[in-house]
Every structure is written in C-alpha cells, then in structure tokens.
A and B are shown apart, each in its own frame.
Chain A
C-alpha cells in the first residue's frame, strides 16, 4: 500500500507556542488530504479537508484561525496549531488519497502526539 508519513511522531510544547505537523505522501500524489484528531478512548474526529492549492474546508466547530492548514504541493500538507493550550493536547492524524483513481482507499499517517504543558 501507499505510504503516508507524519512528522514529528510526538511533540511537547509550552502553552502559548505554535506547533507545525507535516504530512507527506511518499510514493503518490495526493490532491486531497484530511486532518483528524483523536482524544484518549475516543474515535477519530475529522477536522478539515485540505486541497492542494486552495483553502482548506473545516468541519463545523473547528477554529480555522487556530488550526492553520497549508497544502502547498501534491505531496505535503501541514497543520499548525497556533497558540497551543493544554486542551489542544491530542493525537493528530492525517490521511491522503490517490485521487486519480475513483473510490480508492485513503492511507493514514502514523499520527502525531501533541502534549501542551
């Protein structure tokens, strides 16, 4: 299967600072990438859909000014958590799909565990 890589795998930051998480599709081009977050013992919650070269589409209740998403190339999308606070501590996961084929599966990164102290 295709490979999606996230970096970093884990990060600890101080409250008030910003953190950038990268999501790369290593062996395919991804027009569309998705960002999720997951709290302990809960399911994945979709945050936004990221389209290459255009603005991300955020799910209801997700603050677009706090979670900045950039999809500048077909292989890279970034999520920046701005002015992070302890309640932003979570497991952030990206996924990407090969849009050249219809109804193909989405591949997920390994996730990034963010801890804000």
Chain B
C-alpha cells in the first residue's frame, strides 16, 4: 500500500477554508485517495475520495495534483464541529487484499472561534 504523509496538526479560524495537504508520492495508477475524519471517541466518518479528477461533495473538495503525488482536502467554511483528526488514505484496488484501508497518523485539525 502506498504511504501517505500529513502534517500532525493544523489550526483554522472558524468560517475560513481549511486546506489539509497530503503527500502520497508512491501512489500507483489504480489506487484511490480517500479522506476520512474521526471526532474524538467515534468511528471514522467518510468525507470524499478520488482517483485522478478533482471531486466535490456537500462536505468538502478534493484536489489531486496532475502527477497524483499529492492532494489537498478543502473544507470551504470550517466550523467548530469540523475539529477532528483527518486521515488521508491511499487504498489498494478491491482485487488487492480486499481494498483495505490502512490509516496513518492523520492531521489533527483545530477550528478556533
């Protein structure tokens, strides 16, 4: 599985955009980038995923560089409830070990008033 590198922590002002970077320089062509977040003492929550193109949903946007070696998760208007640990995961295809998700250390995002 490709490994990811994320900053251990970030701060963001409430109402501003939170941009969380992730490096995955060893990603292969058929591996997807997934983002999850975990609020304290809860199970992880799915945010978004992508392969090559940028993606947007009601929660966030995912920007993947053209060479796919890095990506950025964007929370357009961060709120206090977005305070959580954010995990960037490169997931192998389904035919490879069932597409399991291997979690790294993530980024602890603190949204401040």
Q: Given A43-B105, A44-B103, are A109 and B98 neighbors across the interface (CB < 8 Å)?
A: no
Which of chain A's residues have a CB closer than 8 A to the CB of B94? 99, 102-103
- Bound-complex Cα distance A46 to B6 (A): 19
Q: Are B106 and A109 in contact (CB under 8 A)?
A: no
Asked if A28 is an interface residue, CB under 8 A from chain B, the answer is no
Asked if B77 is an interface residue, CB under 8 A from chain A, the answer is no
Q: Find residues 32-74 in chain B having any chain A CB closer than 8 Å to their own CB.
A: 32, 34, 36, 38, 41-46, 49, 51
Asked if A90 is an interface residue, CB under 8 A from chain B, the answer is no
Q: Are A49 and B98 in contact (CB under 8 A)?
A: yes
Asked if A93 is an interface residue, CB under 8 A from chain B, the answer is yes
- Bound-complex Cα distance A83 to B98 (A): 29
Which of chain B's residues have a CB closer than 8 A to the CB of A109? 43
- Bound-complex Cα distance A64 to B112 (A): 44
Q: Are B49 and A105 in contact (CB under 8 A)?
A: yes
Which of chain B's residues have a CB closer than 8 A to the CB of A46? 100-103
Q: Given A34-B100, A51-B98, A97-B99, are A43 and B106 neighbors across the interface (CB < 8 Å)?
A: yes
Asked if A77 is an interface residue, CB under 8 A from chain B, the answer is no
Asked if B104 is an interface residue, CB under 8 A from chain A, the answer is yes
Contact with B along A87-117 (1 / 0, CB 8 A): 0000101010101001101111111010000
Residue in B44, B91, B97, B99 whose beta carbon sits within 8 Å of that of A44 in the complex:
B44
Q: Find residues 8-43 in chain B having any chain A CB closer than 8 Å to their own CB.
A: 32, 34, 36, 38, 41-43
What are 15 A-B pairs with beta-carbon distances under 8 A? A6-B43, A43-B87, A43-B103, A44-B44, A44-B103, A57-B97, A57-B98, A93-B43, A95-B44, A97-B99, A103-B51, A106-B46, A110-B43, A111-B41, A111-B42
Please list the residues of chain A having a beta carbon within 8 angstroms of any beta carbon in chain B: 1, 4, 6, 32, 34, 36, 43-46, 49, 51, 57, 91, 93, 95, 97, 99, 102-103, 105-111, 113
